[in-house]
Every structure is written in structure tokens, then in C-alpha cells.
Amino acid sequence: MKHWLLSVAALALAPAAILNAAPVEARKPAPKAPTTGMVSAADPRAAAAGVEILRAGGTATDAAIATMLALNVVEPQSSGIGGGSYWVRHAAKDGRIDSIDARETAPMAATPDWFYGPDGRPLSHAEAVPGGRSVGVPGALRGMALAHAQGGKLPWARLFQPAIRLARQGFALTPRLQIALTRYGAHVDAPTRARLTGPDGQVLPLGSIIRNPEQAALLERIATLGPDSFYVGPQAQKLVTTVNTAQRNPSKMTTGDLASYAAKPRPPLCATYRGYRICSMAPSSGGGSTMLSILKLLERFDMAKLGKDSPEAWHLFAEASRLAYADRDMYLGDPDYVRVPLKGLFDPAYIADRSALIAPDRTMASVSPGTPPGAPARVRAPVSEVPGTTDLVTVDAAGNVVEVTTTIEGSFGSGLSVDGTMLNNELTDFDIVPVKDGDLVANRVEGGKRPRSSMSPTIVYGPDGKVRLAIGAAGGSTIIAQVAKAIIGVIDWKLSAQDAIAQGLLFAPYKVATVERGTSLEALVPGLQALGETVTVAPLGLKANAIERVGNRWVGAADPRSEGVAIDVTGRTTVIQRIGDKPGRPAE
């Protein structure tokens, strides 16, 4: 089916291994589709906002927009209209799947040395984040508007009402927001800090009611005037002035940069894994491609037989991760600016050659990017993303499914805000140094370009051709591994989506593998070391959300490390056994 084709404009060239038709089992009679709507989100108040819209007759797209807007209010450290998003959507009527790229863009004035200091040397990531220069042109609202035009039903203004109510009437300060400001909010501007701290400058106690009348007024204007009111006119000028007059790292953004921003429909990137069809976000995100690469590299191994408590299984996962991340760092970038060799990366012979590097009984001495067919000369640049972001899934009564990952990048983004809304620091997802040893970095800064991301909103189709699972995650470069791990958990280890999300993670983009502290994987460390793995144990900033189809019903899941929940339209909330906070960075 044509709507299942692989990723970007050059997909006519995609390999048969990726683009093969649905398995034979798809012709079997499928169970009747579930009819109960549901929302899974990283905050219960945001999930409730989406459910409110479903109850009012809204579609999954409507509910996703309302949930995103509410998250903007109650999770200001993670996402909002000052940032961007990626959407993957399944249409129940015809089985069509599509995606939207609402990633931020660099101002047109940006050059490859955008993050170089006056001394001609590149800034560190920490130096580049605060202030105006890290702010990309926000894409989230344009993404919402495009999605609404394509799949919305309720009036645009109605979708804003839950978020406006939360901002104006107030919401209770939660542990996650309190931790984020205390540990990672040193760069936050004065207006934001004033809302979240007391007269003594200390973060307010848990349960304190936080009101944001400036944000409520902004959302009311956008609800009434439409999304253009954010991108042109006085509101656009206010944003541009904020970033260009920032005390640290002032930008060179123009009102023209905002006015010309467009969210882009993109065909999703799809591949098969053990008879399941898995569709995720294509570039400009590097998340979907890398996640699917991990799965394809592992497909020749019997992960089901090894099981979730096997050191060998996790060793294989680590090795596949290293190979996939190496190719990501080398080749992935905005396809409108650089040639991304997707066809070559998923060429069956290339996958087989790369997978053959993985041995069950030993760890690779070193890992290098491969040379897929059609690959241009490039240099590898290390991952610089930090844990952040948020994710949500919505399903409506008709069976439409929407998976969105949305972000402002690090905690509280750039630290700058406009009318109570945080502005992103997405441009630090670019590789700061554009050239190495004479070769260009794929993810270098360029005017109008979208920085590479790890965001991996994903919809999984079962052998019957029906949606089996919709899942996404937050947490910087761990997003890719989180989603891959959860899919293996559901398909190979027969876990529920909830248990697959709660399962600990072994994160190994490079030589050292990090075992998530406080999980059952800690017991596997000696076995991993016996296989040659270099292992450290540490907390990881993980946060995932999912909805799965089990027979004739939808079942929600949310990460026990987060404050997230899944709620259906009857008001039933998924019971989640929370994992207590551990020292270190929280899930954001």
C-alpha cells in the first residue's frame, strides 16, 4: 500500500526489505476495532484535558492538541508552543499513516559558526544553551494547525479551553517541576522564576498553586485569532526582541523567520520486525531511523528465547545500539539540506553486514559508522542532546491514533520566556563544530535548517494489519533506546506495554553501557561484564507513554518514573506502580 512507503522524498528508491507489503497474516479476519477513546500523557492534568476534548466529540487529533497545550502549562520545563514537535498519525477510515515535521528551524542568519565565541572558538554545549542564540523558530503551533486542518473536528478555539483554565485558575506544583527548577533552572529568566519561587527566592513547596495569567492571555489570543497571530504581528515582534536582546548569546532572528515557518507533512519511515510493521518519524528526526536500525540489526537473533533477564540479550541490544547510533551520528540530518542515505542504511545487504559484526559471546573492540550504499563523505559527530521533552498518545472512538513527541529541548529550554511561555534551546541539537578533517558534519548549523532529533513517535501494526501499539518517549538521546526496548518487550518478550515501559534500560550509544539504577538489570552487570561489556550503573532520565490494542480494547501505559497516566473517556485511569525518585536527573 502506497501510504506505507518509507520516509522522505526519495522513497521510491527504498529497499524491498523495508517496503514490503503487509504479511500474509494481514488477510486473516481481524477483531473488531476498540471504540473507547483514551489519552496517555506525562501529566494527569494534561491527559484529562485530552479526555475532555474526546468527550466533547473531538478526534484523536483534537485531543492531542488540547493535551499538548495543557502540558505547556503544567510541564513548562519540557514542552510548549515555544518549541516543536513530531506527529505520527493513523487514520482508522482507510488505514493511512502520515506524519508531520514541526521541528524548529535556525534563523536564516545562522551560519556554521553560529555557536562560536568572540575568540573564534566553539562554545561548549553548556555555554551555548542560555540566552537567545539557542532558540529555534518555534514549530509546535504550526504543527498543531496543520494537524487540525487535516484531522480536527472541534473548533480551534475549543481545544485551548482546558489549558487556558489551568493557566488562569492555577495548578498544583508537582515534584517533577520542583526538581527541574531546583536542579536545572539556574538559567531561567526572572518572570518565570517569580512564578515558581517565594519571596525568599526558594522554590515553592509542593502543592503550591501556580498561576500564569500572562500565558492564559497569550493562549486566549491564539485561540481567538488563530495560529498566525503567534507568527506575525506584535507577538512575533515580541519574541524576536526577546531573543535578540538577551543578555547572553543574543540571536539574529527576524520576524521574517517566524512568518515564513511551515510545518511539513512527511511520509513516515516504516520497516518490518518479525511480521510487525513499525512506522516512525523520518528525518529531520534521526530517532525513527536509528530505532528501526536497532531492531533490524537484532532481527536475526532469537530475542524471545533469550528473554528479558538474559545478559546476552541485553549485550546484543547494546551492540546493535552502538552500530545504529554510529550511523546516526554520521549521516542523519535535515533532508532538505543534506543527503541522508536512508535507502543505503536499510539495504538488506548492508543490514546483514552490520549485524554480522555483532557476536553473542563478546563485545566489539571498537565501533565505527558503516558505509551504506549512496553514502556521502561525512564525519561523525557525538550526540549532544540532554534529557528533556514530553510525549503523548491519543485514540478516539473511531480508532484514529495519534502519537506526538514535543519538546523545548533541555529543562526550561533557553531559559527565556515570552508571555509566560518558555522558549526552546533546540539549536544546541546541532553539532557545534561544522567541519572535521575537511569533511562536513551532516548536522551542522545552517540558516533555515532543522536540527537533528532523537524523537521517535511510533505506531506498530500487528500481523493482522491493525494498530497494535503507539509509543513514544522523552529523554534526549535515550528516546531511541527506550522505544526500541519497549517494542522488543511487547513483541519478543510478550510484555504488556506498561511492563515494557517500566522495564529497565541498558543505554549504550558508545563504548560504555549504562545500566539503569534501581532496576532488575543491575543484577545482570556481572554477566554483561563477562561478555566484555564496560558497564556503569546510573539513573537515566526516562519517560515514555503508550496505548496498546489488546483484543477488542485499548489499554493505556505511562512511565512509572514519571507523573504520567493514561485515562479513557469513562474516567478510568491506568494504575501505575511508581518508581521512586533516585538521585540524578529526573525524567522530563
Residues 6+ apart with CB under 8 A from 357: 319, 323, 364
Q: Tell me the HSE value of 118 on the side-chain side, using a 13 A CA sphere.
A: 3
Q: What is the dihedral of CA 432, 437, 442, 446, to 10 degrees?
A: 50
Q: Which three cell numbers stand for residue 286?
A: 534521526
574-578 contact pairs (CB < 8 A, 24+): 574/40, 574/498, 576/498, 577/502
Question: DSSP characters for 64-127?
Answer: HHHHHHHHHHH-TTT--TTSEEEEEEE-TTT--EEEEEE--B--TT--TTTTB-TTS-BPPHHH
**Residue 321 to residue 125: CA distance in whole angstroms:** 24
Q: Which three cell numbers stand for residue 356?
A: 554480522
Catalytic residue chosen out of the listed positions 174, 272, 363, 389: 389
Could you count the other beta carbons within 10 Å of the beta carbon of residue 1?
12
Residues 62 and 145 sit within 8 Å (Cβ to Cβ): no
**Residue 393 to residue 398: CA distance in whole angstroms:** 15
**Residue 87 to residue 384: CA distance in whole angstroms:** 23
Please say if 67 is a catalytic residue.
no
- Beta-bridged to residue 137, according to DSSP, are 105
- In 3D, which of 81, 193, 180 has the Cα closest to residue 411? 180
Q: What is the DSSP letter of 534?
A: E
In single-letter form, the type of residue at position 473 comes to: A
**Residue 350 to residue 335: CA distance in whole angstroms:** 21
524 to each of 185, 290, 361, 504, how far by Cα in Å? 35, 25, 15, 11
Find how far residue 329's CA is from the centre of its chain: 17
- Beta-bridged to residue 549, according to DSSP, are 554
Q: What is the DSSP letter of 207?
A: T
The sign one gets for the Cα dihedral 242, 245, 248, 253 is: positive
Residues 423 and 80 sit within 8 Å (Cβ to Cβ): no
**Residue 381 to residue 433: CA distance in whole angstroms:** 8
Q: Residues with catalytic annotation? A: 389
